């Protein structure tokens, strides 16, 4: 048995390390939204409790699907690297960026793809599957019986838009990776921040080329697709030539209070066994006590009833 944990959308604070050269309209509006509401929702102590619970429950590897920070500031990105190191070393933790990590073209400092490089790049085994430099994504890593395929959907966008895009170059490499890894008899787990299928969220927050990604998954298949972005739990089954592909979204791993339909902090455990994949949802149900408990459990089978209501 191999256990993979999935956590996302931590929006870690504090927002630090910025000056006049870092600001534009998008960052200004994002800061106002964070100051008015989001800073009360997302707390690092909740993320820390999730991290401790992950290892207590036997995780072999952790996948982090983006939005680790808020405004993509260099100081935030550096602080997030410190948190990633406390979560685990790069051979135990794999991340992909989210739209808040690649927030705007105005950086005035190193980007997350540079600072988090050890966590978001191919390992020595996966390098033969990855795109040639300077293309970083998609990347491939080996974790036990799993081949983790990191896809970047984060692009700088205009104010009030949180959409994403994969792009033609990544699709070409992704298609090749999925086919070659299938021949290796490994469990292919695709990691992406934005929901990968059409209609999973509003257009201004959606993956712009979701239809193309859906076609790749239909053609090549995968054993599991993990994403964040919506701050809600979800499970969809996408048809492919071989067998339906489970597409699983997870709620924020740092939420200390509910926010509209978004629940309190959660993460998922996936236990890969000879008979299939068991999924366990763990999180907090009481904001004041904050104890991490089991919320739901099921085996991922196409005919299963929905886990989430």
Q: Per residue in 11-42, pLDDT tens?
A: 997 676 667 778 889 988 998 999 898 899 99
pLDDT at 6 over 80: yes
Spatial separation of the C-alpha atoms in residues 223 and 187, rounded to whole Å: 6
Torsion sign over Cα 280, 146, 189, 140: positive
Task: Check: pTM over 0.85? Answer yes or no.
Answer: yes
Spatial separation of the C-alpha atoms in residues 250 and 236, rounded to whole Å: 12
3-state secondary structure of 203: helix
The confidence score (pLDDT) of residue 132 equals 61
**Residue 108 pLDDT class (50, 70, 90 cuts):** low
Beta strands in the chain (DSSP E): 2-7, 61-65, 93-96, 139-143, 146-150, 187-191, 224-227, 234-238, 245-249, 266-273, 276-284, 292-299
Contact 295, 283 (CB under 8 A): yes
Mean pLDDT, to the nearest integer, of 113-128?
94
Joined tokens for residue 184: 């290796």
Mean pLDDT, to the nearest integer, of 262-286?
95
- CA-CA distances (angstroms) from residue 117 to 36, 92, 296? 32, 14, 34
Q: Which of 109-118, 146-155, 170-179 has the lowest mean pLDDT?
A: 109-118
pLDDT at 98 over 50: yes
- What is the residue extent of each domain of the chain? 2-299
b/e map 101-117, b = 16+ CB within 10 Å: bbbbeebebebbbebbe
Please give the class, per CATH, of domain 2-299. alpha beta
124 or 14, which is more confident: 124
Report phi then psi at 30, rounded to 5: -65, -40
Q: What percent of the chain has pLDDT over 70?
A: 94
- Who's near 82: CB < 8 A, 6+ residues apart? none
Q: Per residue in 137-156, pLDDT tens?
A: 999 999 999 999 999 999 99
Q: Which of 132-136, 256-260, 278-282, 289-293 has the lowest mean pLDDT?
A: 132-136
Mean pLDDT, to the nearest integer, of 280-299?
91
């Amino acid at each position: 048995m191999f256990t993979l944990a999935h956590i996302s959308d931590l929006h870690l604070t504090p927002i630090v390390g910025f000056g006049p050269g870092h600001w534009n309209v998008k960052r200004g509006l994002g800061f106002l939204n964070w100051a008015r509401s989001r800073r009360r929702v997302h707390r690092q102590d909740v993320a820390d409790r999730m991290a401790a619970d992950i290892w207590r429950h036997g995780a072999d590897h952790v996948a982090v699907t983006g939005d680790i920070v808020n405004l993509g500031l260099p100081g935030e990105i550096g602080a997030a690297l410190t948190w990633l190191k406390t979560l685990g070393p790069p051979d135990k933790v794999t991340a992909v960026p989210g739209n808040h990590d690649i927030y705007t073209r105005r950086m005035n400092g190193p980007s997350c793809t540079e600072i988090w490089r050890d966590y978001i790049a191919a390992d020595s085994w996966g390098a033969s599957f990855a795109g040639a430099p300077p293309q970083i994504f998609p990347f491939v890593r080996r974790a036990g019986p799993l081949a983790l395929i990191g896809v970047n959907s984060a692009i700088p966008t205009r104010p009030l838009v949180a959409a994403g895009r994969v792009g033609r170059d990544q699709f070409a490499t992704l298609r090749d990776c999925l086919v070659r890894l299938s021949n290796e008899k490994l469990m292919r787990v695709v990691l992406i921040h934005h929901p990968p299928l059409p209609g999973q969220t509003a257009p201004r927050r959606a993956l712009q080329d979701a239809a193309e990604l859906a076609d790749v998954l239909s053609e090549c298949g995968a054993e599991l697709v993990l994403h964040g972005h919506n701050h809600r739990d979800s499970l969809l089954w996408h048809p492919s030539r071989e067998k339906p592909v489970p597409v699983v979204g997870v709620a924020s791993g740092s939420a200390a209070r509910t926010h509209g339909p978004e629940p309190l902090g959660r993460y998922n455990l996936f236990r890969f066994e000879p008979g299939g994949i068991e999924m366990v949802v763990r999180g907090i149900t009481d904001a004041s006590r904050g104890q991490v408990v089991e919320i739901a459990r099921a085996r991922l089978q196409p005919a299963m009833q929905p886990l989430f209501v």
